[in-house]
Structure 1
Amino acid sequence: MPMPTTSLDRRRFLAVSAGAALGASALSACATSVNSGDASTSKTTLTVMSVDNEMDKKTIQAAEKALGVKITYVRFDQTKLNAMLAAKNPPDLVRGLGAVDTPYFAARELMENLDPYFAKSSVLTPSDLDPVNDVWRFDGHQQGAGPRYGMAKDYSQDQMFWYRTDLFDAAKIDHPSATEPLSYDEWLDLGKRLVKRRLGKVKVYGLSATALGNFSPLMGMTASAGGSLFAEDLASVDFSSPEALKALTWLIEYTKADIGPNLVNPNPDGWDWPAYQAGRMAMAGDGYWFGGAISGDPKAPEVSRFAPAPQFGATRISPSFGATGYWIPKSAKNKDAAWKFFEWYFAGQPAKDRASGGWGIPTLKSLRSQMPQGTAFQKQAFEVQQRELDHFKVLTFTPYVQLAALDATLNQTLPQMVKSGASAGKVADKLNSLMNDQITKGKQVLG
């Protein structure tokens, strides 16, 4: 049965959001930080909550010129967003991760249903939308169905990986296939063979498998094994199921092996590129977007190749953990102007620039031909990616708790239990207890 989608009042929303700690003074500050109009002109002021590298000065100026509006930029902060939503004074546009944000905000009736806008648009038509945009749909029970609440700006299938041929050749190891996926056990074994240590410390990572978090990859691995981390009603997780336990056991073994950045020994760089660029990482578990960084380097493209997502079983899937894009809050003040931004940003020149830059797969099918193919490196990556599109699948996330909370539980629990030598079964029991308590509390708020 679909869960209820009762709207939250201010007190109930704050009780289960990061904004609870802000209190009334923070709510007041957030509300006054938004410019809801420009007294000196007749221009509409569009408030956009995003991140610096996407909503930079150049992009803001281009948007203002193209749309005839004034842009007020608010740096993304989850606590601030939750507080602004609770105060019913949200931004007009919010950057979000469709794969995990949609159920949470849609179930609380905080997102505007964009179906009427898509129906009238001449440039953003449902028939041209890449299937990844279905993660921005939610019918109260599952993602991939129901109204559209947002759109991805670009995306990657995030369990695919890049590898350096020079490090494989130096170790006299055959390159991974560009057409047939490795098993997760094969991938882990390669990482163990490629790691290099000196005086007990890792000098060259063999494999980076958790650059995009830990909970989302576990969802993907469990689905690849033929199961689901979440129960059918999305009201609980079960790490003890055969499929989920298989995935969790793999993550524990990867962590214990210390062949790449992990929860016990995290990456001091914060992300994979510095080590990969310097030849200190043989395999980087990052999707197509990582090719944008590789392309910008004078040497890395010559020794870099792209490979399909590893698999656990016969159920071959290749999900997206982000599908980053934008959505319009239900209580936004300038929804029509926000939609004009949608059309410009997702179908206009910004979308064409993103498509040709190699930092992600365009989310309009009509723009796929603009993905870079000018070099041997780009052509190889493009061909591998095109074949992988057939294996994309929407994974439904729970509406009762945010991803950050579940990742935080993993981050706090797994290192302690790995160091203590706890079995995978005991780790599963502990995660089930902690996470299901979080989910239950979130469900109680929705009623």
Structure 2
Amino acid sequence: MRSQAGAPLSRRRFLALSAAGAAAGTASLGGCAMQVSTGVGDSVETVTMMVEPDDITPDLVKQAKKDTGITIRRVDFDITKLIAMLTSGNPPDLVRAVGATDAAYFAARDVMEELDPYFARSSVLRVDDLDPVNDLWRYDGRTQGKGPRYGMAKDFSQDSMYWYNTAAFDKKGVGYPAETEPVTFEEWLENAQRLVQRSKGQTTVFGGSYNGLTRLTLMATLTASAGGSLFSDDFSRADFTSSEARKALAWYIGYCRLNVGPTPVDPAPEGWDGPSYQAGRMAMSNSGYWLGGMIGTDRKLAQVSRLAPAPVFAGGPRISACQGGTGLWMPRKARNKDAAWRVFEWFFGEAPAKARAAGGWGIPTLKSLRPLMPGKEDYQERALKAQESELEHFSVVSVTPYITGDAFDSLFNQLTPAAMRGEMSVVTLAGHLNSAINDQLKRGKEQVG
């Protein structure tokens, strides 16, 4: 049910936005008087974007003014400030979000502008040119991946794929995975056990890292790979005790117990895989195509790096999802929607999009930009071949709109350490996860209404 245009969000809607707790904390209304944008009738149009610094650099702000005539005012993304601004009816014009975990969450709370009319009349962003990954930004009131479009991804990877270092495989005499045919999750874990290197009780080279982008997307995708769904048909409940979800959970807990790679109880020293992989201290990294942007900056590393398909469970479907799909959305009460859409077109379809595609840091989300992906060097050509083959197996793995990724991760990371240390069975853990997460989902569904 939509609230009246221009009216502040009701307390119910505000609570629905801020209830995530782990993601938002207690929202203060401080800062709500901030000037957001100037209208279309002003001599100089200004669009406010709430994004991270790397999303819109000062150089891109200058380029936007040159290309579109519009001034971009960038403000740091802050979920507490965003909720306060949405509540006051004075939101930014464009907002950063992660399509896989945020799109359905905000769409269910009735704060996002439906963008289908804008796409329909755009000559820059044509619907028939949109990569299917943009379906992460669709929501029909029940299921992610269907219904109106609420945003778009700036680039993406199939995040269950993994990179591997052939030098580490050679050192241990382990055969390389095929570049277009998947290994099973069991085989991946066996390889990680053979590849890990230890000295004096310390791990010197991780055999492999497999943690996904968030625990929410990881567990949803692993369960889909086992042939099931982590959530009920109406996404109001999670069930870790189903045979498929339990298989997924058992595999991940087994990975953590073997101590062959970073885990929530023993994370990577730098907080993510990149530095360890770049330094030769990680044989396999569960990072999609985007990591190639970093790998390509070191020619020696690039020559020994390969990109492999997402693993499968024996007998299960071949699932290769995007667990990110970061992009932008337009608040329904944005003050300057026409100018915001022009910036949206420019960001996703013009100079910035072309530069991102050529950089190798992600797959462009317009199919027409794929020819710009780097492929001149032999290592780029290999990665591109593996990635193009994998695109055939992309699918949207829908997640619930009733909890944020951060809130899910917080609960998961609180409850799983005992099982990861071998002090709790997977069956017992599954019951604990059901209880805690379903309690949060129940509150989230009640608040959405």
Matched, 1:101 2:102: yes
Query: 2:307: which partner in 1?
Result: 306
Report the equivalent of 2:125.
124
On the 8 A contact 1:88/1:331 being kept in 2, the answer is yes
Is the CA contact 1:224–1:317 (under 8 Å) kept in the aligned structure 2? Answer: yes
* Number of residues of Structure 1 aligned to a counterpart in Structure 2: 439
Encode CA deviations 1:314-353: one digit per residue, 9 max, x unaligned. 3111000111111101011111111101111111111111
Q: Is the 8 A contact 1:5 1:106 kept in 2?
A: no
Alignment equivalent of 2:432, drawn from 398, 417, 430? 430
Shift of 1:10: 4.0
Give the letter for the 1:145 counterpart: K
What secondary structure sits across from 1:305 in the alignment?
strand
Residues 243-271 of structure 1: per-residue CA shift (max 9 Å, x gap): 00001001111111111110110112011
8 Å CA contact 1:211–1:271 kept in 2: the answer is: no
> Does the residue aligned with 2:169 lie in a helix, a strand or coil?
helix
Give the alignment's TM-score, normalised by structure 1.
0.95
Structure 1 segments, 4+ long, off by >2 Å, are 4-16, 18-23, 32-38, 416-420
Residue range with higher mean Cα deviation, 93-102 or 233-242: 93-102
Aligned to 1:275: 276
Q: Provide Cα deviations, 1:270-292, integer angstroms capped at 9, x if missing partner.
A: 11111111110000000000000
Structure 1 spans left out of the alignment, 5+ residues: none
Partner of 1:176: 177
Which residue in 2 is equivalent to 1:442? 444
Distance 1:184 1:97, change over 3 A: same
Structure 1 residues 375, 101: closer, same or farther in 2, change over 3 A? same
User: What is the one-letter code of the residue matched to 2:11?
Assistant: R
1:6 Cα deviation from its structure 2 partner: 7.2
Deviation of 1:63 (Å): 1.3
3-state SS, counterpart of residue 275 of structure 1: helix
Aligned letter for 1:146?
G
AA paired with 1:204?
V
| Shift of residue 370, structure 1, vs aligned partner | 1.1
Give the letter for the 1:13 counterpart.
R
Q: Mind listing any 5+ residue stretches in structure 2 that lack a counterpart?
A: none
Separation in 2, partners of 1:137, 1:320: 14
Q: Secondary structure at the match of 1:256?
A: helix
TM-score by length of structure 2 reads 0.94
Q: Which moved more, 1:6-15 or 1:95-104?
A: 6-15
Q: In the alignment, what sits opposite 2:45?
A: 44
Q: Give the distance between the partners of 2:227 and 2:333, measured in 1 at CA.
A: 40
- Give the Å deviation of 1:50: 0.8
Moved more, 238-247 or 269-278: 269-278
User: CA separation in 1, counterparts of 2:275 and 2:327?
Assistant: 26
The CA distance in 2 between the partners of 1:215 and 1:422, in whole Å, is 21
Distance across 2 between alignment mates of 1:154 and 1:405: 25
Return the alpha-carbon distance in structure 1 between the equivalents of residues 139 and 225 of structure 2: 22
Instruction: Work out the CA distance in 1 between the residues paired with 2:186 and 2:217.
Output: 19
1:391-410 mapped onto 2 (5 Å cutoff): 391-410=393-412
Deviation at 1:87, TM superposition (A): 1.9
Q: Secondary structure at the match of 1:28?
A: coil
Are 2:342 and 1:354 aligned?
no
Structure 1's 6 and 437: CA in aligned 2 closer, same or farther, altered over 3 A? farther
Which residue pairs with 1:384 in the alignment?
386
The offset of 1:22, in angstroms, is: 4.1
Tell me the equivalent position of 1:161: 162
Residues 130-157 of structure 1 show CA distances to partners (whole Å, capped at 9, x for unaligned) of: 1111111111121222111111111000
RMSD of aligned alpha carbons: 1.7
Structure 1 residue aligned with 2:209 = 208
Kindly report which structure 2 residues correspond to 1:247-258, keeping only aligned pairs within 5 A, or say none. 247-258=248-259
Correspondence for 1:371 among 370, 373, 380: 373
Shift of 1:361: 0.4
Residue of structure 1 equivalent to 2:59: 58
Alpha-carbon shift at residue 5 of structure 1 (Å): 6.9
Whether 1:12 and 2:8 are equivalent positions in the alignment is: no
Aligned to 2:221: 220
Contact 2:100 2:217 in 1 (8 A): no
Q: Secondary structure at the match of 2:83?
A: helix
Paired residues of 1:22 and 1:83 also in contact (CA < 8 A): no
